[in-house]
Amino acid sequence: MTKILRAAAIISLALLPLRAQAQKAARASLSPAGRPGTSITIRGNALDSVGGPLADMPVRLRDARAGKIVDSQSTDKTGLFEFRSVEPGSYIVEIVGPDKTVLAASQLLSVNAGDEASAVVKLPFKILPFAGVLGHSAQSAAVITAAAGASQVLAVKALASATPSSTSVR
C-alpha cells in the first residue's frame, strides 16, 4: 500500500508542470479578444476643413496606451472608414498625409468588449501662407469670415495692431 501511495505522489509531482501549462492555456483562451461578442468595431468619417468627405485618404488606428499603429486603411469614396476586430482599449484615429505625417486626429476613443465606437476626424482650418500680406481689405475680411464660418470657428478674439502712428514717440 505504501508503494502505491509513493508512486501516486511521484506521478502527481511529475504532472504538476503539465497541469500549470494547461491552466495557463485555458486562461489565455478566455481573454477578452477571444470570447464571442467581444470584438470591437471603430468606424467613422474623415472630413476636410469645411466638412466635405476625404475620399481615398489614408487613415490609421493608433493604440493610445502603447503608441503603436494597430491598423491602417484608406477611406472609401464617401470618406468612411471601419476598423474591425479591434481589442478593448483606448485608440485614436489619424488622417495621414502622403509623407506619413499626421494631418488630423480624432478624440480619444475608449472602448470595451462588444462596443462599437464612432469617430469623426476633421482636417484643421488652414490659414493661407500670405494671408494679410497685401493689406486688410473688406474683401479679404469677407473671405476669411466665410472660411472661418465654414470650418465652424465659433469665436475670434480681436487684437489691437500696432500702426506707425500709434507707436511713434512725440
C-alpha distances out from residue 44 to 4, 28, 50, 69, 90, Å: 67, 31, 17, 17, 16
In whole angstroms, give the CA distance from residue 36 to residue 111: 16
Inter-residue contact 126 to 152 (CB < 8 Å): no
How confident is the prediction for the chain on average, in pLDDT?
A: 74
Q: Is the pLDDT of residue 18 over 60?
A: no
In whole angstroms, what separates CA 166 from the centre of its chain? 48
Q: What is the domain partition of the chain in residue ranges?
A: 33-122
| pLDDT tens digits for range 31-64 | 444 445 577 899 999 999 999 999 999 999 999 9
In whole angstroms, give the CA distance from residue 76 to residue 54: 8
Is residue 17 very low, low, confident or very high in pLDDT (cuts 50, 70, 90)?
low
> What confidence score (pLDDT) does residue 126 get?
72
Could you say which of 3.30.365.10, 3.60.21.70, 2.60.40.10, 2.60.120.260 is the CATH number of the domain covering 33-122? 2.60.40.10
Q: Is the pLDDT of residue 106 over 60?
A: yes
pTM to 2 decimal places: 0.55
| pLDDT tens digits for range 111-141 | 998 889 999 999 998 765 655 555 555 555 5
